[in-house]
Structure 1
Amino acid sequence: MDLPRIFVIRERNHRVHNPFTEQKLALLGDVIRLRPGQTMLDLACGSGEMLCTWSRDHGISGTGVDISTYFLGAARARAAELGVADRVAFVHDDAAGFVAPTPVDVAACIGATWIGDGVPGTLALLEQSLVPGGLLLVGEPYWRIDSPDQAVVEGCGFTSRDEFDDLPGLVESFGRLGWDVVEMVLADGDSWDRYAAAQWFSLRTWLDANPDDELAGEVRAELDTAPALYVRYRRRYLGWGVFVLKRR
């Protein structure tokens, strides 16, 4: 059980595997008013930057779960670097269906709602690990325009407009599911650029070092098309944010 190699090649130099800068991640930790001693579960945690930096900055403890052995190795190294390895742990497991053995104060899935087959299922999964009155954090894309045409949808890398909602529709959907939106931090053009453009550098440096690898053709094809597709479509039409929810 692991991520396909192409994902690791593309994002191996990322600390945050979403269109969030480290500054926005820190802002999110501030606005949810974390306190020393609180506990957290981070499903599909990637390289563990959120859990590690929040443990350092706010004194929380917690567990991150991911299927990528590479990213979990980076997460454990980051925890040691920041001096929080005694407060955070990382588990190699499928986040889909993972429930914390002891309920936590904050349960998060940032940019990976496929683990619950969408937002409703992911919120239901996260709630199983949450103490009464705790906070859910969910990171999710949304359309910046109401009804993108099929060229926009495919240019952003998807097959159907219905894979995501627009921002008002997404926020309203949380209410229909019984959750209050109590905070949010949204990506902007710069944070999108840091996420997407850094991938191209990682792809190119990998390709330069591995021209005969079996994935070299796939990487070359992505480098040929990804920058133009990004600036034409994804940067203009796709938003992304983290929404902080509390059960009504």
Structure 2
Amino acid sequence: MDLPRIFTIRESSHRIHNPFTPGKLAALGQALHLPPGTRVLDLASGSGEMLCTWARDHGFTGTGVDISSRGVEKARARAAELDVADRVTFVHDDAAGFVADEPVDLAACVGATWIGGGVAGTVELLARSLRPGGLMLIGEPYWRREVPDEATARACHATARADFLPLPGLVEQFGALGYDVVEMMLASQDSWDRYQAAQWLNLRRWLDAHPDDELAEEVRAELTTEPVRYTRYQREYLGWGVFALMGR
């Protein structure tokens, strides 16, 4: 049970595995106005940056769950580095279907709604761990502009235009699921650039160090095509944000 190696190579230098800068992640934590002692469940927690820094900055406690063994290793190391290992725990497990032993104050899935088969399923999954009146965080892409055709949608790593909604449509979807949107933090094109462009450097450095690896051809192909694809399509059409929800 793990992520394919290409994912680990692509994001090897990342602490945040979404198009958020550290400043945006910190601003989101401040904007939620949650007290010390807030209990968090973070599904698909990646390298644990959100849970670790919020434990340090706001006194939160909690658990992160991720299918990547390397991500869990990095998260535990980050917790030790920030001196919060007594407050946060990271579990190597498939986040799909994971439910906390006890209800939490904040349940999050930031950028991995495939664990619930989409937004609706992920909201339902998180709700199973959330105490009444608790706060939910969902990170999800949306269309910044009208997508002209299916080829453009696929170039943005969607399977079809219907995979994502425009921002107002996504907010409406949360309402239709019975939740108020009470805060949001959106990625900018600059934060997208920081996320995507860092991957290209990771790929090139890995390729230079491992020219004979069985993945070398795949990495070379990705490094050749991804900068053009991203700048031509994804940067212009695809947005991303984190939305704080409370049940009605």
Q: TM-score, normalised by structure 1?
A: 0.99
Match for residue 98 of structure 2? 98
Following TM superposition, the consecutive aligned residue runs of length 4 or more in structure 1 with deviations greater than 6 angstroms are none
Match for residue 111 of structure 2? 111
Identity %: 69
Structure 1: gaps (5+ residues) = none
Q: Which amino acid aligns with 1:53?
A: T
Question: Structure 2 matches for 1:1-248, cutoff 5 A?
Answer: 1-248=1-248
The count of residues paired between Structure 1 and Structure 2 equals 248
Q: Which amino acid aligns with 1:80?
A: A
Q: Does structure 1 retain, via aligned residues, the 8 Å contact 2:153–2:160? A: yes
How large is the RMSD of aligned CA atoms in angstroms?
0.7
Residue-by-residue CA offset, 1:91-135 (whole Å, 9 max, x unaligned): 011000000001100000000000000000000000000011000
CA distance in 1 between counterparts of 2:165 and 2:31 reads: 25
Q: Which amino acid aligns with 1:86?
A: D
CA distance in 2 between counterparts of 1:38 and 1:154 reads: 39
CA distance in 1 between counterparts of 2:93 and 2:9 reads: 21
Q: Does structure 1 retain, via aligned residues, the 8 Å contact 2:145–2:236? A: no
CA distance in 2 between counterparts of 1:149 and 1:178 reads: 31
Q: TM-score, normalised by structure 2?
A: 0.99
Deviation at 1:147, TM superposition (A): 4.1
Question: Which is worse superposed, 42-51 or 27-36?
Answer: 27-36
Residue-by-residue CA offset, 1:187-208 (whole Å, 9 max, x unaligned): 0011000100000000000000
Q: Does structure 2 retain, via aligned residues, the 8 Å contact 1:40–1:61? A: yes
Q: Give the secondary-structure state (helix, strand or coil) at the position aligned to 2:183.
A: strand
Q: Which amino acid aligns with 2:41?
A: L
Structure 2: gaps (5+ residues) = none
Q: Give the secondary-structure state (helix, strand or coil) at the position aligned to 1:114.
A: helix
